[in-house]
Chains A and B, each alone.
Chain A
Amino acid sequence: MTGSGDTSKDMDLKLRVWRQRGPKDDGAMVEYDVPAVSPDMSFLEMLDVLNERLTLEDDDPIAFDHDCREGICGACGVVINGIAHGPEVTTTCQLHMRSFTDGDVIDIEPWRSGSFPVVKDLVVDRGSLDRIIQAGGYISAPTGTAPDAHAVPVPKDDADAAFDAATCIGCGACVAACPNGSAMLFTAAKITHLGLLPQGQPERDSRVLDMVGQHDAEGFGGCSQIGECTAVCPKGISLSTISRLNVDLLGALRSTYAK
């Protein structure tokens, strides 16, 4: 493998990284100088390079979650200079160092939320999001029972809007960005995806009640329509999904009390 052809634009950076050994330990910001960073590196590759050095220096490498590194698995995500996923609206893995300039000081922190306990350094536990899905984020369709796929046509506009909501990658940036620590954008994206489809109608009321109930039980805050969530969402999930959730929730509560 060969080095970058043009190193003239390489940058010297100072990082201040949240280091926390384990869930019960106290954490602190620790400074690292990272010289000669190529602008073509991804943000995570910059951390890789630092970690290689830390390992050889008998220091503990910085733990961070990551996997696909192409913006779709939702594993990565840190707060960079106070913004979830950093200065570009994308996933942390798709952020490149050309978004920074020589001499920058970069603060790197984990998602901050009581419902996302820190596991180590920049790694948090987002199991609460899985539990919201478990509460009702599905359509009950036992394998093998499905009718022919063309049995129920779905208007294209509905299918497209359902897809837009379904592109949520579950990264948790919306929670990290929200002053209330709410996971309402995440929850609403699923309510919208499934609620727009004819297949999702039978469970529409129970879904919204159960998912919102679980959301609150996990300790996420309420939504007050601030919009920080959608501003950092790498997939551009719209705030209108939350309006839709509220409509569904009111409808479900009304029909529940009517019974």
Chain B
Amino acid sequence: MTADSYHVVGEPIRDTKAPAGDIKDRWDTRRFEAKLVNPANRRKLSIIIVGTGLAGASAAATLGEAGYQVTSFCYQDSPRRAHSIAAQGGINAAKNYRNDGDSIYRLFYDTVKGGDFRSRESNVYRLAQTSVEIIDQCVAQGVPFAREYGGLLDNRSFGGVQVSRTFYARGQTGQQLLIGAYQALERQVAAGTVDMHTRHEMLELIIVDGKARGVIVRDMVSGEIESHFADAVVLATGGYGNVFFLSTNAMGCNVTANWRAHRKGALFANPCFTQIHPTCIPVSGDYQSKLTLMSESLRNDGRIWVPKAKGDARPAADIPEEERDYYLERIYPAFGNLVPRDIASRAAKNVCDEGRGVGPGGLGVYLDFADAIARLGLASVEAKYGNLFDMYAKITGENPYQTPMRIYPAVHYTMGGLWVDYDLQSTIPGMFVTGEANFSDHGANRLGASALMQGLADGYFVLPNTINDYLADGPFVPVDETHPAAIEAKQLVEDRIATFLAINGSRTVDSFHKELGQIMWDYCGMERTDEGLRTAIAKIRELKAEFWRDVKVSGVNEELNQTLERAGRVADFIELGELMCIDALDRRESCGGHFRAESQTEDGEAMRDDENFAYVAAWGYGGEDGKPILHKEALEYEYVEMKQRSYK
């Protein structure tokens, strides 16, 4: 059996609409060539924006201010709660305030290389260019970045780069940036340019004459199914890490808006590219609902180890030095505990699979600070990592100054997402996708402090300079709820809800979600194989059938019903999970966060296959029982030479 039995191959994508010419000039060229909309005409044009994280709130604030009629939706009770708020580390910008050799070109280069040569040069260059303006904008809004005694902004270094270009606000950079964007958004709400709907969830896209013209949303309080119309629709709906059930995402993060759009014709690109972060607090029991990240910086001073013997259940302190395996130091003597994220994650999985993991369930490794405390002193370790140690103690009830921390990798970010062109427009005209929801800039692996940069670049600066090119052809023919396309979309939503409520089976929604997550984690997680992915696809198909036969959704539609909300999300995650496995199966190479066991060097490093896989895999929906259609967008590197990453 070949991989082709799961999909069909469609036409390649030949044009991403990036202008030709020197990479430094492309964004200027595009901004100049894009059609403009006269300020007086903007108030006749309307835009729906779904999601109020960094990418959505910044876009709503900016487009509202520009004069468009913006309608904004979020599923939370306030736009300020979107999950961008949880980002810890920082935001990159090529300011070169340190005078340490940084430049737009270097940020571009680091990001393309960090993405393991699976992102677009044009997009990444624009991201690096825009990064500079983001910091200015945020400071003007009152974002309280960390400063030095002279009153100027502080910077720090982040994973895998040699310059200090990361701006930060203690360990809460995402919170501060989002509050800045949220305040700008609320200012527009007060000004009447943004109509904000909280506790509303998008459940369907309305397409009229081939163009995205509206959305069907559910009022999560009253259950009312509403139709909203506009001249363009923007999805800023975040990533899909919760397909694994356990991840560092918020509980409500979901793929539904993106998946419904995918089913209506938007291509889904590189769905298998997920980032698994090595240092998270492990699962403590089967009631576990989410995982919490511990900053990667801990690996600077902590030593990672497991017992040499399988099933050694003694407390850490009772295991003598010669019976410990500091496996990263042993396998990677040059980099030791500071190997890149994907290597550290996979190595932890391997020792646990061997039966040498520690803690409940054997899914954990020690991160030990005993040597650091002996070398630097307790006070020094406390000054460096105190807040992280406190957070760990609060969650686990253990004192990491006395016993080693237990950590394990967890799903953190998804590089894949809806396919967009250089204008951030999807394959559905009039539907744009920003932030983590699109696939554009991170290739197969995202570097630290780049997600915040991309979300704000898209929302503040890129989309507001490209969406006008589309809207200049509007306003489009008026559409209301009597249009057949709107009636059909609404009916689809109502039927689906009625189906969920009628099944009245014997298993809870969460039990299906957990089972799906386990399948994804086992077969489409840190290491993927041909055989495992085929097994996963079969299991997911069985799970899907069982879900629609035996799920139990209690209550009614006409009130707040959190079980019903989750049922819709899990149904879509199941379909996405299958596509992720099909994508991972087709990509018979290892790159970035995607490790195929069949494609590794003799010493176990990821091995890319540029000859056969230097493309974006953009998937078309193949119908309820049909096969997804693979459209390949070839990736060409004119500026950065493609090299195999090496850590030796």
Residues B287 and A41 in contact, CB atoms below 8 Å apart: yes
Q: Which of A42, A52, A55 has the most CB of B within 10 A?
A: A55
Residues A153 and B151 in contact, CB atoms below 8 Å apart: yes
Q: Is the C-beta of A126 less than 8 angstroms from some C-beta in chain B?
A: yes
CB distance from A126 to the nearest CB of B (A): 6
Residues B510 and A48 in contact, CB atoms below 8 Å apart: yes
A98 to B136, CA, bound (A): 45
CB distance from B504 to the nearest CB of A (A): 9
A66 to B251, CA, bound (A): 8
Residues A72 and B85 in contact, CB atoms below 8 Å apart: yes
Q: Is the C-beta of A27 less than 8 angstroms from some C-beta in chain B?
A: no
* A65 contact from B77, B139, B169, B172, Cβ within 8 A: B77
Q: Which of B176-184, B328-336, B421-429 lies at the binding interface?
A: B176-184
Q: Is the C-beta of B35 less than 8 angstroms from some C-beta in chain A?
A: no
Residues B287 and A48 in contact, CB atoms below 8 Å apart: yes
Residues A1 and B77 in contact, CB atoms below 8 Å apart: no
Residues A5 and B359 in contact, CB atoms below 8 Å apart: yes
Q: Is the C-beta of A85 less than 8 angstroms from some C-beta in chain B?
A: no
Taking CB atoms, residues of chain A closer than 8 Å to B290 are 69-70
A22 to B362, CA, bound (A): 44
Residues A67 and B252 in contact, CB atoms below 8 Å apart: yes
* A40 contact from B133, B285, B560, Cβ within 8 A: B285
Residues B139 and A63 in contact, CB atoms below 8 Å apart: no
Q: Which of B5-13, B394-402, B466-474, B572-580 lies at the binding interface?
A: B394-402
Q: Which of A141-149, A177-185, A218-226 lies at the binding interface?
A: A141-149
Taking CB atoms, residues of chain B closer than 8 Å to A148 are 136
Residues A55 and B508 in contact, CB atoms below 8 Å apart: yes
Interface residues in B101-152 (C-beta closer than 8 Å to A): 133, 135-142, 144-152
Residues B142 and A90 in contact, CB atoms below 8 Å apart: no
A67 to B189, CA, bound (A): 24
* A38 contact from B80, B285, B289, Cβ within 8 A: B285
* A199 contact from B58, B141, B179, B395, Cβ within 8 A: B141
Q: Is the C-beta of A30 less than 8 angstroms from some C-beta in chain B?
A: no
Residues B147 and A144 in contact, CB atoms below 8 Å apart: no
Question: Could you give, for residues 83-94 of chain B, a 1 whenever the CB lies within 8 Å of some chain A CB and a 0 otherwise?
Answer: 101100000000
Q: Give the nearest-CB partner of A70 in chain B.
A: B292
CB distance from B363 to the nearest CB of A (A): 7
* B184 contact from A3, A135, A138, Cβ within 8 A: A138
Question: Could you give, for residues 42-79 of chain A, a 1 whenever the CB lies within 8 Å of some chain B CB and a 0 otherwise?
Answer: 10111011001001101111010111111011110000
Q: Is the C-beta of A4 less than 8 angstroms from some C-beta in chain B?
A: yes
Residues B137 and A144 in contact, CB atoms below 8 Å apart: yes
Residues B175 and A2 in contact, CB atoms below 8 Å apart: no
Taking CB atoms, residues of chain A closer than 8 Å to B83 are 67-68, 73
Residues B146 and A159 in contact, CB atoms below 8 Å apart: yes
Q: Which of A6, A119, A163 has the most CB of B within 10 A?
A: A163
Taking CB atoms, residues of chain B closer than 8 Å to A55 are 508, 552, 554, 563
Q: Give the nearest-CB partner of A58 in chain B.
A: B554
Instruction: Given A52-B510, A119-B221, A200-B142, answer yes or no on A141-B80 (Cβ-Cβ < 8 Å).
Output: no
* B81 contact from A58, A74, A141, Cβ within 8 A: A74
Q: Is the C-beta of B475 less than 8 angstroms from some C-beta in chain A?
A: no
CB distance from B218 to the nearest CB of A (A): 15
Residues A3 and B142 in contact, CB atoms below 8 Å apart: no
Question: Could you give, for residues 130-141 of chain A, a 1 whenever the CB lies within 8 Å of some chain B CB and a 0 otherwise?
Answer: 100111011111
Residues B289 and A45 in contact, CB atoms below 8 Å apart: yes
Question: Could you give, for residues 299-323 of chain B, a 1 whenever the CB lies within 8 Å of some chain A CB and a 0 otherwise?
Answer: 0000000000000000000000000
Taking CB atoms, residues of chain B closer than 8 Å to A73 are 76, 81-83, 85-86, 250
Q: Is the C-beta of A112 less than 8 angstroms from some C-beta in chain B?
A: no
Taking CB atoms, residues of chain B closer than 8 Å to A69 are 250-251, 289-290, 292
Instruction: Given A58-B554, A127-B78, answer yes or no on A21-B151 (Cβ-Cβ < 8 Å).
Output: no
CB distance from B264 to the nearest CB of A (A): 27
Q: Is the C-beta of B518 less than 8 angstroms from some C-beta in chain A?
A: yes
Q: Is the C-beta of A110 less than 8 angstroms from some C-beta in chain B?
A: no
Residues A193 and B144 in contact, CB atoms below 8 Å apart: yes
Instruction: Given A139-B141, A143-B464, answer yes or no on A153-B78 (Cβ-Cβ < 8 Å).
Output: no
State the majority secondary structure of interface residues on A: loop
Residues A45 and B135 in contact, CB atoms below 8 Å apart: no
Taking CB atoms, residues of chain B closer than 8 Å to A5 are 359-361
Q: Is the C-beta of B68 less than 8 angstroms from some C-beta in chain A?
A: no
Residues B560 and A1 in contact, CB atoms below 8 Å apart: no
Question: Could you give, for residues 559-592 of chain B, a 1 whenever the CB lies within 8 Å of some chain A CB and a 0 otherwise?
Answer: 1101100000000000000000000000000000
Q: Which of A40, A41, A70 has the most CB of B within 10 A?
A: A70
CB distance from B268 to the nearest CB of A (A): 25
Residues B560 and A119 in contact, CB atoms below 8 Å apart: yes
Taking CB atoms, residues of chain B closer than 8 Å to A125 are 77
A137 to B185, CA, bound (A): 11
Q: How many residues does chain A have at the interface if contact means C-beta atoms less than 8 Å apart?
A: 84
CB distance from A98 to the nearest CB of B (A): 5
Taking CB atoms, residues of chain B closer than 8 Å to A152 are 139
A169 to B359, CA, bound (A): 33
CB distance from B137 to the nearest CB of A (A): 5
Q: Give the nearest-CB partner of A162 in chain B.
A: B144
Residues B285 and A143 in contact, CB atoms below 8 Å apart: no
A48 to B245, CA, bound (A): 14
Residues B139 and A140 in contact, CB atoms below 8 Å apart: no
Question: Could you give, for residues 96-119 of chain A, a 1 whenever the CB lies within 8 Å of some chain B CB and a 0 otherwise?
Answer: 101000000000000000000001
CB distance from A232 to the nearest CB of B (A): 16
Q: Is the C-beta of B555 less than 8 angstroms from some C-beta in chain A?
A: yes
Q: Is the C-beta of A259 less than 8 angstroms from some C-beta in chain B?
A: no
Q: Is the C-beta of A206 less than 8 angstroms from some C-beta in chain B?
A: no
A22 to B556, CA, bound (A): 13
Interface residues in A208-245 (C-beta closer than 8 Å to B): none
Residues A155 and B562 in contact, CB atoms below 8 Å apart: no
Interface residues in B66-80 (C-beta closer than 8 Å to A): 76-80
Q: Give the nearest-CB partner of B78 in chain A.
A: A130
* B363 contact from A2, A67, A142, A166, Cβ within 8 A: A2
Residues A146 and B288 in contact, CB atoms below 8 Å apart: no
A68 to B80, CA, bound (A): 12
A48 to B510, CA, bound (A): 10
CB distance from A97 to the nearest CB of B (A): 10
Q: Is the C-beta of B326 less than 8 angstroms from some C-beta in chain A?
A: no
CB distance from B100 to the nearest CB of A (A): 16
Interface residues in A152-184 (C-beta closer than 8 Å to B): 152-156, 159-160, 162-163, 166-167, 169-170
Taking CB atoms, residues of chain A closer than 8 Å to B146 are 159, 163
Residues A127 and B77 in contact, CB atoms below 8 Å apart: yes
CB distance from A4 to the nearest CB of B (A): 4
Extra A-B contacts (15), CB below 8 Å, given A68-B251, A166-B169? A5-B361, A22-B560, A38-B285, A55-B554, A61-B563, A68-B83, A69-B289, A73-B85, A88-B394, A129-B78, A133-B183, A143-B460, A146-B133, A146-B139, A149-B135
30 contacts between A and B (CB under 8 A): A2-B363, A4-B360, A45-B288, A61-B562, A67-B83, A67-B251, A69-B289, A72-B175, A73-B76, A74-B81, A94-B394, A96-B395, A120-B560, A130-B79, A130-B189, A130-B198, A133-B186, A141-B137, A142-B65, A143-B184, A143-B460, A143-B464, A144-B133, A144-B137, A146-B140, A155-B151, A160-B147, A163-B144, A166-B169, A199-B139
Measuring CB to CB, which residues of chain B are less than 8 angstroms from any residue of chain A?
A: 58, 61-62, 65, 76-83, 85-86, 95, 97, 133, 135-142, 144-153, 169-170, 172, 175-176, 179, 182-184, 186-187, 189-190, 196, 198, 221, 248, 250-252, 283-290, 292-293, 359-363, 394-397, 460-461, 464, 506, 508, 510-511, 514, 518, 552, 554-555, 559-560, 562-563
Measuring CB to CB, which residues of chain A are less than 8 angstroms from any residue of chain B?
A: 1-6, 21-22, 38-42, 44-46, 48-49, 52, 55-56, 58-61, 63, 65-70, 72-75, 88, 90, 94, 96, 98, 119-120, 123, 125-127, 129-130, 133-135, 137-150, 152-156, 159-160, 162-163, 166-167, 169-170, 193-194, 197, 199-200
CB-CB nearest 9 A-B residue pairs: A153-B151, A2-B361, A146-B140, A138-B183, A141-B140, A146-B136, A163-B144, A4-B285, A5-B360
